[in-house]
Amino acid sequence: MKQLRKPEVVVITGASAGLGRAVARAFAREGAYIGLLARGRDGLEGARREVEELGGRALVLPADVADADGVEQAAETVEREFGSIDIWINNAMVSVFSPVRGMKPEEYKRVTEVTYLGYVYGTLAALKRMLPRGESPAARCTSATRRSRRLSATRSRPASPTGT
């Protein structure tokens, strides 16, 4: 008899493209319920279709990770629709490829808001929900040069499906 277990509830920022979308597919193969967060609705809808074709469920969460309120609302929506968040993956980022002297102050500001504060806001939204449940999440960052089972993940139980 097939064992019944609660599907993992996962939130992935930057889930509409690239690595985030690939991670969403990996979790979908495990039947996860996934909150897909990014700004562009078209990419998010494409990711949602892929997740559902692979056996997962998905919520499209259009938001900018640099907007703390938007991230908090997204977390709220996920818990209302799917239940407690088990795993939060901070993946959204923005970079500027330029010599340092060629970069403008507003470009540094935007990179900091998205790639640093976006991680902070995501982690805070996850901790707010996980800590009262007595869970002991861990935050991790890895780069593409190091093979890891987790990329910048905040989670409450040992990792499962992502071998990215």
Ligand X SMILES: NC(=O)c1ccc[n+]([C@@H]2O[C@H](COP(=O)([O-])OP(=O)(O)OC[C@H]3O[C@@H](n4cnc5c(N)ncnc54)[C@H](OP(=O)(O)O)[C@@H]3O)[C@@H](O)[C@H]2O)c1
| Interactions with ligand X, residue window 123-162 (CB under 6 A) | 143-144
Each residue 52-91 as x (binds ligand X by CB under 6 A) or -, in order, gives ------------xxx------------------------x
Pairing of strands 138-139, 87-89: unpaired
Q: How many residues form the binding site for ligand X (CB under 6 A)?
A: 22
Among 18, 55, 83, 163, binds ligand X (CB under 6 A): 18
Q: Enumerate the β-bridge partners of residue 58.
A: 34
Verify binding: residue 93, ligand X, rule CB under 6 A: yes
- Residues 23-52 within binding reach of ligand X (CB under 6 A): 38-40, 43
Cα–Cα distance for residue pair 60/112, rounded to 1 Å: 25
Considering only 59, 74, 92, 153, the residue that binds ligand X (CB under 6 A) is: 92
Residue nearest to ligand X (CB): 18
Whether residue 28 contacts residue 56, with contact meaning beta carbons closer than 8 Å, is answered with: yes
Q: Which residues are at the interface with ligand X (CB under 6 A)?
A: 13-20, 38-40, 43, 64-66, 91-94, 114, 143-144
